[in-house]
Every structure is written in C-alpha cells, then in structure tokens.
Amino acid sequence: MADLKNKVAVVTGGSRVIGRGIAEGLAEAGACVYVTDCSVDTGSDTDALTIQATARQVDQLGGRGVPVRLDPHDDDAVAQLFAQIDKTEGRLDLLVNGAYQIPDPDTWGSGFWEAPLSLWDQQCQTGLRSAYVAAAAAARLMVPARRGLIINISSRGASEYMLNTAYGVVKAGVDRMARDMAHELAAHGVSVLALWPGLISTQAVLPALAAGRLEADSDKAHSPRFIGRCVAALAMDPDIAEKTGGSFQVAELAREYRFREPEPDPQPVPAAGFMNCD
C-alpha cells in the first residue's frame, strides 16, 4: 500500500480546524508536515489549536510534525520558510493552502453594502493572495524536481452563493487559480487542484445550522480529519496528473479512494479562524 513516508508537506493554517485535520490525515500516512499558522502555545489549557499542539498530534499519529509560526501576509517570511525546507529536507512534495480568516466582525448573512469594506481585504489577502504567494514559493522547489502537488482549499461557494459576496469571489478565484496554475505547471510534472471540503462538524457550524444561518444537512457533516484523509489519498495517487486543474468535492473523492471517517466518530471541534500575527 502506498504511503507518505519520507514525503514533505506544508499545510498553511495548519492548526485551525480543517488545517489541523489535514495535518492529522497526512500524519496517519507517515508524512513530515510543516504546520504553519500564527497560533502558538501560551501555557493555557485552551491551547489545543496551536502549531505546537498540532505538530505533537502529527508525531503521535505516525508522522513528523514541524511547527512554524508564519504570517501568510509576510512575503519574505513565506519565501524564507520554503528556502529552509529546501535546505533542511531537500524536497517538497505537497502544499495545502488552507489559511483563511473568518470575518471580523462576523458579516455572514448580511448584504455586501452593509459590511465594512475591510471585509474584502480580509478575505482576499488571506484567502486568495496568500495562497498565490505560497504556491509560487512551492513551485520554485517542485518544478526543478519535476514532481509535486498543490491543493487549494475551496468550497461550493466558488460556484453558488454562500455566506457573502466577498467569500464567493475569493473561492471562485481560488478555483480559477488552481486551474490556471495547473495549466502552467503541467509540463513540469506538478499538479494543482481545488478541494471542496463540504460541511465540517465544528462547535460553530452546528449552532449556525440550528439557528438557520447556514442551510445544510447536519447529518452529512464531516470531521476535519476526514478531509485530511482525502488530501492524503490525493497525495498518494500515482495518477494525480489526471486531476490537475480540477475542482473536487471530498464526499465524491471518498467514494473513489474509499477512505472513511475516523473511528470512533470525533466530537465537534472548536471553531477557530486564522489568527493575526500582530
């Protein structure tokens, strides 16, 4: 059976819900996972969603976790991270662009004219531009090696209305970016795709469903690690080039790759968006 031992991955936003689940899924397959985010241990009992805690979980699950405090808006710091990976590991096999910032203040469900204009910058800077910057840095390592996979975390908001206008524009951009990057990287042996996780069972999503702020079937909610197992399956697929440029739903890929939810089913995890590095 294929695995990810001796493979190196970077997961941006890696300590936060989906990002942490992706790190855990990769760890189960034995990968070395660089967990990047701004969240660090403070010694508090609530430090469950930090890069250090996630890296320790990666170790416990059979991988090798490397916590990296990183502001995805700092282009120089991002470039330095990938240069360090090249020097230390000598390879990069996977980049998962998962960094995202939950709007502050929360403007889900309001008209775009009612939201502060800063919402646009919050969504585009973290949800779109940071993915572009990280992908460019990753490609500089992957192209000479003629191998690698870049996964942009997106959602059905790329193709239909969801949450707010800025969110939808960003997710559509994430999907289009994957498509165009795939076109430019195809001749270099590097694949790029967009991944739609679907509904995730967190302590924020479930109350939002109950209050009617989100419309979805809560029985179809997935755990974050289920998303991670999907990413691991994609990273182990020897024919991944056939998917390059596409956008894929995790639920559909589960039927293709036959991965399942962890047992026993995990409890809903705390919600946490991208944390500023100020």
Active site residues: 167
Task: Please tell me the chain's helix, strand, coil percentages from 3-state DSSP, rounded to the nearest 5.
Answer: 45, 15, 40
The span from the CA of 159 to the CA of 78, in Å, is 30
Going by C-alpha positions, the residue among 278, 273, 277 that lies closest to residue 123 is: 273
Instruction: Tally the C-alpha atoms within 13 A of residue 116's C-alpha that lie toward its C-beta.
Output: 9
Tell me the two tokens of residue 29: 């397959």
The span from the CA of 20 to the CA of 53, in Å, is 10
Going by C-alpha positions, the residue among 276, 205, 195, 277 that lies closest to residue 228 is: 195
